[in-house]
Chains A and B, each alone.
Chain A
Amino acid sequence: MTVAGISHRDQCAIVGIGATDFSRDSGRSVLSLACQAALAAITDAGLKVEDIDGLVRSDYDAVSHNDLANALGLTDLTYWGATGQGGGAPCGMVGQAIGAVMSGQARHILVYRALNGRSGVRFGQRKPTGDRVGGAGGMEEFFMPHGLTSPGQAWALTAQRHMHEFGTTRDQMGHIAVTCRKRANANPAAQMHDRVLTLEDYHAARMLSSPLGFNDYCLESDGACAVIVTSAERARDGKQQPVLIRAVAQAASADPQAGLYMPTLMRKTLTTQPSADVARVLYGRAGLGPSDIDVAQIYDCFTITVLVQLEDYGFCAKGEGGPFAASGALDMDGALPINTAGGNLSEAYIHGMNHVVEGVKQIRGQSTSQVAGAQTCLVTSGIPVASSAMILRAA
């Protein structure tokens, strides 16, 4: 699982975390949000702005490395990069930063995601009438003319298939929504902090695209998150307790498919996702397995997205994600507490970058839903696109 004998295991650390407030209408530019999260992360790390010599962004981010370097007044930028796609990116972005640090291209890399995801460009918004769709390798020409126009609809098709193959129920998906909401209720920064959600509320809410209802969908948010990656050696002298990156992985070995999410409906299976590939590579690199994970931040654009990953990351057998989610295993006193800040479902939709920030907080012991004695945290990024994940651990 390593190339030419070089392993990044425990070689790098996250030394700073930063976030903006999360809202439906930030009233600020995406660039301002990125700057705000960046400055918060730099302050948290006890660094100076001029210490930042590398930037990694998501391929979806409106803020380019030039934009942020200019706005922050960086004077010594020696590395920048981007990876994707979208929600599949954040852990891969950290992996890219590790590569740059270990190859000596930069010392302190700021990894960021900023968006006005509610007040600005919203996912699933239609293109202007009259525009032809597809035709650029993304294969949308086979989907959008038939009414598939949003990620929620695509995940509904996957959820229905999971129900058909394994008998998964809405009630089981509801447990995931309720669990994330409970963690958000404990997190004052979460957009859903003041909104209680019971299983009864979940069932009473309106159906959007069956079998997915209102509370199966994540939030739409304005906000930004940023973290700083450096070497484990430099991290030892830092202001914060260093959080080691045990291992990171990107993987897309089986049936990757073109474009974005729509062509993934053509894969041989919908109920095993690229997360299964990521899990295999990640656990191999980490020398750890699912039983070693104390707490997990699992990418949750939809409840079903979590359910499939619980299986793919080996916390239960394939097909058992529903019963596992409904068993209480995801609660604070369960086998695998998840999404302890509320996740995309109930904290904010910062495209999974908020999951990275929360993973660091768990290892530092700073979460608003702290898992006692957490030594390892799995952080995953989005599917159905080719995905990424990492394991954080205490130094």
Chain B
Amino acid sequence: MGDITQIPLPSTADPDTAGFFEAASRGELVVRTCHACGHVIHLPKALCDRCHSWDTGWRQVEPRGRIYTYSIVERQVHPAFPAPFTLIVVELEDEPSARLMGCLPGSPDIAVGMTVRGEFETVEDVALLRWRLDAD
């Protein structure tokens, strides 16, 4: 993509979301899950919004999913993301109720429903999930 030194890096210190980034630094993708009722709390928060239990933790899922929607950005807004690049929203294969934002370089031939696979890339002290279209 563009100049990685310019990427707006995530804050990893929020008590509700920090576990996601801690797992990422170990190369693991996780979703926050309620231990009491099994509900997936996405985006991650400490309290289960379904049963209101505070007994919540993290469940590992495979970094695989499907394109839920996408946009080819042709006008640059941010220097870390020179146009063209492609924004994707990924529905996780293991947990379709959880979606994650992602991006692909350039303007690939893409359609809703295509499968993608992710791996982590370390930028400074943060591991960012990078998706790739399955070659099939």
Contact = CB atoms under 8 A, between A and B. Distances in A.
Interface of A: 124, 126-127, 129, 131-137, 139-150, 153, 156-158, 160-161, 164, 206-212, 257-258, 262-263, 265-266, 268, 270
B87 A258 contact: no
B10 A133 contact: yes
A164 B69 contact: yes
Contacts of B89: 157, 265
B25 interface: no
Contacts of A144: 8, 10
Contacts of B126: 145
* Residue of A126, A141, A144, A212 with highest tally of chain B CB at under 10 A: A141
B81 A149 contact: yes
Interface size class of B (residues with CB under 8 A): 35 or more
Contacts of B77: 124, 126, 149-150, 153
Contacts of B103: 146-147
B17 A135 contact: yes
Contacts of A153: 71, 73, 77, 87
Interface of B: 1, 6-14, 16-17, 20-21, 42-43, 45, 68-75, 77-81, 85, 87, 89, 97-103, 112, 126, 128
Nearest to A213: B74
22 contacts: A124-B77, A126-B8, A127-B8, A129-B6, A142-B43, A144-B8, A145-B8, A145-B9, A145-B126, A146-B128, A147-B80, A156-B87, A157-B69, A157-B89, A160-B112, A206-B74, A209-B75, A210-B71, A210-B73, A211-B71, A212-B71, A268-B97
A266 B42 contact: yes
Contact of B10 (A129, A142, A164, A258): A142
A209 B14 CA distance: 31
A137 B14 contact: yes
Nearest to A262: B101
B74 A142 contact: no
A131 B80 CA distance: 13
A209 B71 contact: yes
Nearest to A158: B69
A209 B84 CA distance: 9
Contacts of A143: 101
B10 A145 contact: yes
B16 A160 contact: no
Q: Which 3 A-B pairs have the closest CB atoms?
A: A135-B11, A141-B10, A156-B71
B60 to A, nearest CB: 17
A147 B12 contact: no
A18 B97 CA distance: 46
B74 A207 contact: yes
A327 to B, nearest CB: 26
A156 B71 CA distance: 6
B70 to A, nearest CB: 6
Given A137-B16, A146-B87, A206 B75 contact: yes
Contact of A148 (B12, B68, B72, B101): B101
B6 to A, nearest CB: 6
B99 A266 contact: yes
B12 A142 contact: no
Given A206-B74, A208-B73, 5 more contacts: A124-B77, A139-B17, A144-B10, A146-B87, A164-B112
A160 B8 contact: no
